[in-house]
Amino acid sequence: MLNLRIEDKNPHLKDELHEIMVENKDIFQSVLNGEDEYVDSLGWFSVEKWASREEVRKLKKLAAHIRENADAFVIIGVGGSNNAARAVIEALQTDDKVKIIYMGNTLSPYELTKALKELEGKSVYIDCIAKNFETLEPGASFRVLRKFLSDKYQEKANERIIATGTKGSALEKLCEEQGYTFLEFPEDVGGRFSAMTAVGLLPMAVAGIDIEKLVLGASDMQKYLTSGEIAGNPAYQYACLRNLYYKKGYKIEMLASFEPQFRWFYKWWIQLFGESEGKDNKGLFPSAGDFCEELHAMGQYIQDGTPLLFETFLDVQEKNSSLDPAPDKVSDGFDYLNGKEFWEINKASFHATVKAHREKLPCLILEVENLDAYAFGELFYFFLFSCYASARILGVNPFDQPGVEAYKKWMFEALGKDRKIS
What does each of the 422 residues of the chain score in pLDDT, given as a tens digit?
Answer: 899 999 999 999 999 999 999 999 999 999 999 899 999 999 999 999 999 999 999 999 999 999 999 999 999 999 999 999 999 999 999 998 999 999 999 999 999 999 999 999 999 999 999 998 888 999 999 999 999 999 999 999 999 999 999 999 999 999 999 999 999 999 999 999 999 999 999 999 999 999 999 999 999 999 999 997 888 899 999 999 999 999 999 999 999 999 999 999 999 999 999 999 999 999 999 999 999 888 888 888 998 899 999 999 999 999 988 898 888 888 888 888 888 999 999 999 999 999 999 999 999 999 999 999 999 999 999 999 999 999 999 999 999 988 877 777 777 888 887 755 54
Same domain, 300 and 180: no
Identify the CATH number of the domain in which residue 252 sits: 3.40.50.10490
Q: Which of 209, 235, 252 is the last residue of a domain?
A: 209
Q: Please, what sign has the CA dihedral across residues 408, 413, 414, 415? A: positive
- Looking at beta carbons, which pairs linking 35-42 to residues 24 or more positions away fall under 8 Å? 38/397, 38/398, 38/399, 39/188, 40/187, 40/188, 41/188, 41/189, 41/190, 41/193, 41/398, 41/399, 42/188
Long-range own/partner contacts, residues 408-415 (CB < 8 A, 24 or more apart): 408/135, 408/136, 411/136, 412/136, 415/136
Is 420 part of a structural domain of the chain? no
Whether residue 393 is contained in a domain is answered as yes
**Eight-state DSSP code of residue 261:** G
223 and 201 in a common domain: no
Contacts of 348 (CB under 8 A, 6+ apart): none
In a domain? residue 366:
yes
CA distance linking residue 391 with residue 190, whole number of Å: 15
DSSP state of 20: H
Residues 163 and 75: their CA atoms lie apart, in Å, by 10
How far is residue 22's CA from residue 19's CA, in Å, rounded to a whole number?
A: 5
Catalytic residue among 296, 329, 405, 420: 296
Q: Which of 153, 185, 209 is the last residue of a domain?
A: 209
Structural domain including 388 reads: 3-33+215-402
The verdict on 140 and 234 lying in the same domain is: no
Amino acid 86 reads R
To the query of whether residue 351 is one of the catalytic residues in this protein, the response is no
Instruction: Compute the C-alpha angle 203/238/188, nearest 5°.
Output: 45
Q: Are residues 272 and 398 in the same domain?
A: yes
Is residue 247 situated within a structural domain?
yes
Shared-domain flag, residues 177 and 229? no
**Domain C-terminal end among 192, 209, 226:** 209
Q: What is the DSSP letter of 309?
A: E
Which ranges of 179-314 would DSSP assign to H, the alpha helix?
198-206, 211-225, 234-247, 263-277, 295-304
pLDDT for the residue numbered 93: 96
Which of 193, 191, 192 shows the shortest CA–CA distance to 46? 193
Q: Which of 90, 259, 275, 311 is catalytic?
A: 275
- What's the domain count of the chain? 2
CB-count exposure of residue 360 (10 Å: 0-12, 13-18, 19+): middle
Catalytic residue check, 275: yes
Q: Is residue 414 part of a domain?
A: no
Contact 34, 398 (CB under 8 A): no
One domain for residues 10 and 144: no
State CA 83 to chain mean position distance: 5
> Looking at residue 415, what is its pLDDT?
82
- Is 291 part of a structural domain of the chain? yes
β-strand 309-316 against 252-257: which pairing, if any? parallel
Q: Does residue 419 lie in a domain region? A: no
**pLDDT for res 176:** 96
Residue 150's alpha-carbon distances to 124, 138, 146, 335, in angstroms, are: 11, 18, 6, 60
So what's the pLDDT on residue 420? 55
**Residues 202 and 284 occupy one common structural domain:** no
Q: What pLDDT does residue 418 have?
A: 72
**Residues 23, 115 share a domain:** no
CB atoms within 10 A of CB 207: 25
Q: What pLDDT score was predicted for residue 134?
A: 85
Query: Are 17 and 54 members of one domain?
Result: no
Q: Are residues 158 and 303 in the same domain?
A: no
Mark whether 408 is an active-site residue. Answer: yes
CA distance 29 to 198: 29
Provide DSSP, 139-194.
HHHHHHHHHHHHHHHGGGGGGGEEEEE-TTSHHHHHHHHHT-EEEE--TTS-GGG-
User: Both 227 and 204 in a single domain?
Assistant: no
| Residue 173 shares a structural domain with residue 314 | no
Cα 19 from Cα 1, distance rounded (Å): 26
Q: Give this prediction's pTM.
A: 0.95
What is residue 422's predicted lDDT score, i.e. its pLDDT?
44
Residue 349 lies in a domain: yes
Give, as one character, the DSSP assignment of residue 38.
G
**Which residues are bridge partners to 72 per DSSP?**
99, 124
Position 181 scores a pLDDT of: 97
